[in-house]
Amino acid sequence: MPILSGDSTGEQDLTGLVLLILLLFGTFTAVLHLLGRRDWTRREKALTAELTQTHARLDRANLFLSTEPQIVIAWGVADGEPEIEGDYSLVTDTPLPRRVLGFGSWLAPDLAQKMDQAVERLRERGEGFSVAVASSRGRHFEIEGRAVAGRAVLRIRDVSGDRLQLVRLRESHTELLEELGAIRAVLDAIPHPVWTRDADGRLAWSNAAYARAVEAKDSVEVGARSLELFDGDAREAAHAARVETGIWRQRTPAVAAGERKMYEVVEVASQNGAAGIASDLSETIALRAELDRQTSSHARTLDQLSTAVAIFDRSKRLVFYNAAYRQIWSLDPAFLDQQPTDGEVLDRLRAKRQLPEQADFRTWKAQLQGAYQAIESAEYVWYLPDGRTLRAVASPNTQGGVTYLFDDVTQRFNLESQFNALTRVQGETLDTLKEGVAVFGMDGRLKLINPAFAALWRFDPANAEAKPHIDEMAKFCAPLLDESSLWSALRAVIVGLPEERKGYEARIERKDGLVLDCAAMPLPDGATLLTFLDVTAGVNVERALTERNQALVSAEKLRNDFVHHVSYELRTPLTNIIGFAQLLAEGVVGELNAKQLEYTGYVTKSSAALLAIINDILDLATIDAGALELRLEEVDVAEAMKAAAEGIQDRLTESAIELRIIATDGVGSLRADGRRVRQILFNLLSNAIGFSAPGQTVTLAAMRRGDEIVFKVSDRGRGIPPEVLDRVFERFETHTVGSRHRGLGVGLSIVRALVELHGGRVLIDSAPNEGTTVTCIFPVAGAAALTRAVA
């Protein structure tokens, strides 16, 4: 018994020891866990703070980057893909960052090559640059390249306003300097002295001819020594004339390079002085005397010709006529010696019925006298009432008048006119046909073709003069056809010997895509007429209609797939983001500090805005697909207005804008989809707030007018320009310049679609700087059925 008791006591002590050891081990493990958890918590807080700071720096960097329209491109030390940030739409419509570096896609070829070379020098040698360029779409950019902290950085910035004006002024200044240099170079090259004076009448600049005239080395010496070409009396007369009329014009002598010459001088006053030019008339005076002698000799020669000659001066007066002119018109010499005008001679000839009969004599006369302003001679054929045919030539004179020549060609023209009339009728008829026409003779050789045939078969009309055989034509046209059966059949019709000549018709499709209707018809003289009519357009239209119908079916399927894809692939994840952000803001997973709450609010607000945009796009796609259904109910108008107003309270507070709601007595309710009515009013109010300035008032009013409910949303913002007013309801049309409103331009499109879906209509009234009023009119009874879809 004592031995058994001792064993039991030992076992109890051993069990207690084991329990004590286990207790100590568990306590030690718990202490280690608590110490490790404290370190982990401290590390997690440090990493969270560092991540928050990193996000803050990233937000600030994005804020600085988005303060103005620009694109920033940075290359690392090692060769690799560049980092591209900014608004890609400045230079390309494709949302691909690499398209920005494809300068050839948005710049002129020379500018693109220049930019590629500049970027290459920047990356290889760190050589900076700054240039101003204009894109192919007319936008102006300032492109600056710099080496920053061992990285190559390129910034493309859209310049506008004062900066654009400065760039344009610099370009204009450079162009003006180049133009001034070019003008002065031209003036230095002409032989006439040219000069300018300052406000005090002193010589400011002169050309090389002026320096030669006053025997000076150059214009600098002329200005330094004030060398005048004309004497004091002429300069005083010029000054007095400039003061009185602003221009001095006179012939005056001067000694130029040791010779006395006569000059035609013109000096014109300007804002800061005057400018003048002198033309040397010495040679002109000598040539005029010689011209008078030559004219006298020429007149004696013309008087001996059988061709009737009459010369009129620039004032249209007869200054010379020969004997043949007097005889051909049977005019009285006394009348001709009085130097009648051209019009008086024509009027007398018309009274004697010696001019061609004209339905509109005044127009014909003006056309004939147009030779006074012409450069080249004009030839006419006049058929006179007495049966004569005259060849008339009106040749402009160097002195400004006209010389008329008349020949009697009655007999020759009688024969030619008959022949030419027949040829012209045939040729003009064929040339005006849109069908390609060719005529082959009995021997199979080409007799004639029209321009349409040459164009269709790419045949040079000049080769038709060689009269090629039908076999040669078949070889020439064979490359355009898939097979030679056409011309073989045509050859049988043209040169075959059938018992009865019959026509031939066929439709062919060439290798170049043209579709032609061909016909061969025998002619009475044994020849054969070929016609080719281009029916490509009709065939293509038929094909296009078939393809378009198939494309519309495919587009409808694609649209439905798009709505489904956006709904599940975009809206669902975005809803999760909004839910998680709200959970974080409510502290469900732990308390957030003030900065975290602020960023969480930004995430919630941005996600809600993005969700609204996606919902708008989905609504538009659903409406287009005819799948949007209205859930009609009795909607209290006043309650709907209040619900829409509650949805924009934060915007009203943020924008410091007052909202005034007006509902007339007895406005009652209407049968409509309540959620869609609130969506309509919410979009209109959001638009009005976005285009209003702080301190202004937006008004939402409703009234009953007969069987209609009228909603009006008015603001006193900047208004809508008349040229934009017709497009405000179009999709993705946004005109937010000068306002705080930003959007895709689908809000008003959805408003109009939803109102029309209810059987109503939308009106808009706006004027620049006076505000905008949008009126939505709903039928009180609602849509015709409980559920209505847009077809």
pLDDT of residue 703: 92
pLDDT of residue 28: 81
Q: How many CB atoms lie within 10 A of CB 344?
A: 15
CA 401, 376, 414: angle at the middle one, nearest 5?
100
User: CA-CA distance, 228 to 450, in Å (whole number)?
Assistant: 70
Report, in angstroms and rounded to the nearest whole number, the Rg of the chain calculated over CA atoms.
Answer: 47
In terms of DSSP H, where are the helices of 190-322? 208-213, 219-225, 232-244, 282-302
Higher per-residue pLDDT: 703 or 790: 703
* pLDDT confidence tier of residue 77, bands split at 50, 70 and 90: low
pTM (predicted TM-score): 0.34
pLDDT of residue 712: 92
pLDDT of residue 777: 92
Q: What percent of the chain has pLDDT over 90?
A: 5
Q: Given a cut of 60, is residue 759 above it in pLDDT? A: yes
Backbone dihedral angles phi then psi of residue 80, each to the nearest 5 degrees: -175, -175
Weakest mean pLDDT among 140-149, 227-236, 583-592: 583-592
pLDDT tens per residue across span 712-722: 999 988 888 87
Per-residue pLDDT, averaged over 90-112, amounts to: 76
Per-residue pLDDT, averaged over 428-441, amounts to: 82
User: CA-CA distance, 610 to 576, in Å (whole number)?
Assistant: 13
| DSSP secondary structure letter of residue 28 | H
Q: Given a cut of 70, is residue 559 above it in pLDDT? A: no
pLDDT tens per residue across span 229-261: 888 888 888 888 888 888 888 888 888 877 888
Average pLDDT for the chain: 80
Q: Given a cut of 80, is residue 481 above it in pLDDT? A: yes
Higher per-residue pLDDT: 490 or 744: 490
* pLDDT confidence tier of residue 617, bands split at 50, 70 and 90: low
pLDDT tens per residue across span 506-540: 888 888 888 888 888 888 878 888 888 888 888 88
Per-residue pLDDT, averaged over 544-566, amounts to: 73
Q: Given a cut of 50, is residue 787 above it in pLDDT? A: no
* pLDDT confidence tier of residue 424, bands split at 50, 70 and 90: confident
Per-residue pLDDT, averaged over 67-84, amounts to: 74
* pLDDT confidence tier of residue 112, bands split at 50, 70 and 90: confident
pLDDT of residue 721: 81
Backbone dihedral angles phi then psi of residue 384, each to the nearest 5 degrees: -85, 155
Q: Which residues pair with 404 in a beta bridge?
A: 310, 394
Q: Given a cut of 70, is residue 300 above it in pLDDT? A: yes
